[in-house]
Amino acid sequence: MKSGYRTFTIAGPEGVERLLRKIRGLYSLREETADDIDEQYLDTFDGRLSSRRLALRQTERRFVLAAFSGTPSEETEGPQKPRIFWQDFPEGKVKDMLAPISGVRALCPLFRVVGRRRHFRVCNRDEKVVLRLQLETGDLYVGEEKREAFAPRLHLEGMRGYHKQFQRVSEVLGENDCQNLEPGQTPVDLFFSQLQIRPDENKIRLCLGKDQTASQAISLIGQGLLAGMKRNLPGVLEDIDSEFLHDFRVAIRRTRALLSQFKQEIPPGQAGIFQDEFRWLGSVAGPVRDLDVCLQKEAIYRGLLPDDMHAGLSGFMEKIAEWRERQAVIMRDHLQSARAAALFANWSDFLSALPSKIQMPQGQIPCRKAARKVVRRCFLRLLRDARRTIRGDMQDVSIHKLRIQAKKFRYMAEFFRGFFPAPDMDALVSDLRGLQDDLGDFNDLAVQIRRFQEYGTALSLDRIAGETLDALLVRLEVEKKRLLKKCLKRCMQFMKQDRTGLF
């Protein structure tokens, strides 16, 4: 059995032969086999696998899903496509593992490792194998572009009962400028760090200092959100997966929330212009998103309908998919328009210049003070809308308002989370997340019902698809009532605790 595994990086290809000579001086070293390495590493755009320290490697049709450390690992055959979804894999462990992690996200190529792997055995005087070595050399590619060679790496695989030889060879490598991996570091980590890929690079990292002004904070947050939009835009235009559009829209919504909450800190007139433009940008992306949600819920709709209506549902969903394609073309035109480009450029220029606009006295107050005021105001409005929802008659409408208010508060609380006691804020955000999930489910359903009614009129459905849609609407109305009750219950739970003292 194996006992001990260690990886060393070797400085430069010339160092490799020198090292092999050194080992030959101690033991009998024999090259057994050699094989080519051509492995494509895949992940979702937001690094869902790598953030869990999982790596999906593809060599032609063979896929290996493994922990960064190498074990455990699962293998399967899979499709050769530029972007793959978990549904594309055959039934088995890889598919089961990927499903909850990648979800609706496509697995796209991250980088490719092309090189050579040589296998050696180190033997003692009896020609007994006491240690195995694997030497890997090669280059890293991103897309078709060759980036750089990776540092040659030597993997030592110890054999049980031959620890002394393992130690001796490790010492020789250490004495000859080879770097042992740091504890917890794996060979896969080396690829990621060499290519500067960070699993969480899509998250906005805000470092707001208490001495910063409100303008500086708005500028920083706005730029982070704008970067988020720009990062997701190519994926939206290429239509890689539905999450690009979702994240793009979230960044727009957050920007609009920022503009609406900091009107006084922004030069008069400017906030309104950008509000209108971002509203427009959000609206052009709305129809496709609604249709995406509808397509993603097909399995749920199927579960709500009797078996004899499944064929009708398939027909209806095909029409929805076609419509989505048409809407996507319109959306792409808008997103690539001069208006959109001008908005991004103007907003970027505006944010860069904002901290120096000293004629705005409100913008010069400490951001901590401004943040406290804004977060408190949002929280009080959230409570007000929650109370209205509980006792109101038009609960559909008030739930919609409450949902918007909850989002605004959540955005602000996240932007400025560093200014509040972490445990209290975390507990509040956690409770709020539960409420938001229920409100979101209710809203999704309300939107779907509304959209289905529109689709029913706009799409030329055949009789079977039409009857299916009618039946589905009835089921969704029943579901909506159930969700309404759930929302109200959750709302009351949320209101039980008095948290106004936090702000």
Partner 1 sequence: MDIIAIYSNKGGVGKTAAAVNLAYEASRSGMAVLLCDMDSQGAASYYFRVRPKKKFSDKKFLQGDINDFIRGTDFDGLDLLPALFSFRHLDLRLDKMEKRKNGSVFDTVFKTIAGEYDLVILDCPPNPTLLTEHIVRTADILVTPVIPTTLSILALQQLLKLTVELKIGHRKIKAFFSMVERRKNLHSATIEQYKKYPVFMKTEIPFLAEVEKMGINRQPVGAAARNSASALAYERLWQEIWQRS
Q: Which is nearer to partner 1, 129 or 197 (CB)?
A: 129
Spatial distance between the Cα atoms of 289 and 302, rounded to a whole number of angstroms: 20
Q: Which is nearer to partner 1, 32 or 349 (CB)?
A: 32
Token pair for 146? 């060759």
Q: Which is nearer to partner 1, 126 or 308 (CB)?
A: 126
Q: What single-letter DSSP state applies at residue 307? A: G
- For residue 318, the minimal CB distance to partner 1 (Å) is 46
Token pair for 51? 């953030």
Q: Which is nearer to partner 1, 35 or 127 (CB)?
A: 127
- For residue 428, the minimal CB distance to partner 1 (Å) is 47
- For residue 24, the minimal CB distance to partner 1 (Å) is 19
- For residue 119, the minimal CB distance to partner 1 (Å) is 13
Instruction: Give the CA distances from residue 29 to residues 53, 86, 119, 158, in Å, rounded to whole numbers and listed in that order.
Output: 34, 43, 10, 14
DSSP β-bridge partners for residue 150:
138
Q: Which is nearer to partner 1, 105 or 121 (CB)?
A: 121
| SS3 at position 173 | helix
Q: Which is nearer to partner 1, 127 or 211 (CB)?
A: 127
- For residue 35, the minimal CB distance to partner 1 (Å) is 17
Residue 358, classified by CB atoms within 10 Å of its CB into exposed (0-12), middle (13-18) or buried (19+), is: exposed
DSSP assignments along 368-428, one per residue: HHHHHHHHHHHHHHHHHHHHHHHH-S-HHHHHHHHHHHHHHHHHHHHHTGGGS-HHHHHHH
**Which among 99, 52, 58 is positioned nearest to 75, based on CA atoms?**
58
- For residue 56, the minimal CB distance to partner 1 (Å) is 24
Q: Which is nearer to partner 1, 14 or 126 (CB)?
A: 126
Spatial distance between the Cα atoms of 251 and 228, rounded to a whole number of angstroms: 6
Given a contact cutoff of 8 angstroms between Cβ atoms, the answer to whether 317 and 349 are in contact is no
- For residue 325, the minimal CB distance to partner 1 (Å) is 49
- For residue 67, the minimal CB distance to partner 1 (Å) is 20
Token pair for 184? 């917890």
Q: Which is nearer to partner 1, 124 or 337 (CB)?
A: 124
Q: Which is nearer to partner 1, 157 or 265 (CB)?
A: 157
Following CA atoms 414, 419, 421, 423 in sequence, which dihedral angle do they give, to the nearest 10 degrees? 20
Given a contact cutoff of 8 angstroms between Cβ atoms, the answer to whether 131 and 71 are in contact is no
**In the complex, which residues of this chain contact partner 1 (CB under 8 A)?**
1-3, 121, 126-129, 159-162
Q: Which is nearer to partner 1, 160 or 496 (CB)?
A: 160
User: Phi, psi at residue 233, to the nearest 5°?
Assistant: -55, -45
- For residue 477, the minimal CB distance to partner 1 (Å) is 55
Given a contact cutoff of 8 angstroms between Cβ atoms, the answer to whether 11 and 107 are in contact is no
- For residue 29, the minimal CB distance to partner 1 (Å) is 15
Given a contact cutoff of 8 angstroms between Cβ atoms, the answer to whether 188 and 197 are in contact is no
Q: Which is nearer to partner 1, 72 or 174 (CB)?
A: 72
The beta strands (E) that lie in 160-279 are given as 179-180
Sign of the CA dihedral running 190, 194, 200, 205: positive
Residue 131: CB atoms within 10 A of its CB come to 24
- For residue 188, the minimal CB distance to partner 1 (Å) is 23
| SS3 at position 75 | strand
